[in-house]
Amino acid sequence: MINHYETVFIVTPVLSAEQAKETVEKFKKMLQENEAKIVNEEHWGLKKLAYPIQKKSTGFYQLFQYEAEGDFIAKLELAFKRDERIMRFLTVKLDKHAVEYAKKRIEKRKSSAKAEK
């Protein structure tokens, strides 16, 4: 049964820029291999954490919003647990209100991005 999911994860800041990008690519590839349709992808970059996680006070935030099978999530979370470059991750199932909110959020970000240019 295809559901909508949204995963946010934090990559340790210790890595160099391209290592962080490479971690993100690794999970993106994993999503695409398991025919998960990526609806939206956001990179918030280096952000300050509200409290130190693993003795670090900043982290690269990355968001994936996708549609996938239910059983795929267990595999994805196992991969997150195994990868020590990921400090923290959170996968959330989106109900219809959440999906509608996410759509509005994408347009808002696009229009604000366009406004900045």
In the complex, which residues of this chain contact other proteins (CB under 8 A)?
Answer: 8, 10, 49-51, 53, 59, 61, 63, 88, 90, 92, 95, 97-98, 100-101, 105
Q: How far is the CB of 68 from other proteins (least distance, A)?
A: 19
26 vs 17, 63, 68, 98, 105, CA distance in Å? 14, 14, 17, 26, 25
What tokens appear for 70 in the block? 């239910």
Rank residues 32 and 45 by Cβ distance to other proteins and give the closer one. 45
What tokens appear for 46 in the block? 């280096």
What tokens appear for 44 in the block? 């918030």
The span from the CA of 116 to the CA of 101, in Å, is 22
Q: How far is the CB of 108 from other proteins (least distance, A)?
A: 11
Rank residues 36 and 59 by Cβ distance to other proteins and give the closer one. 59
Q: How far is the CB of 97 from other proteins (least distance, A)?
A: 4
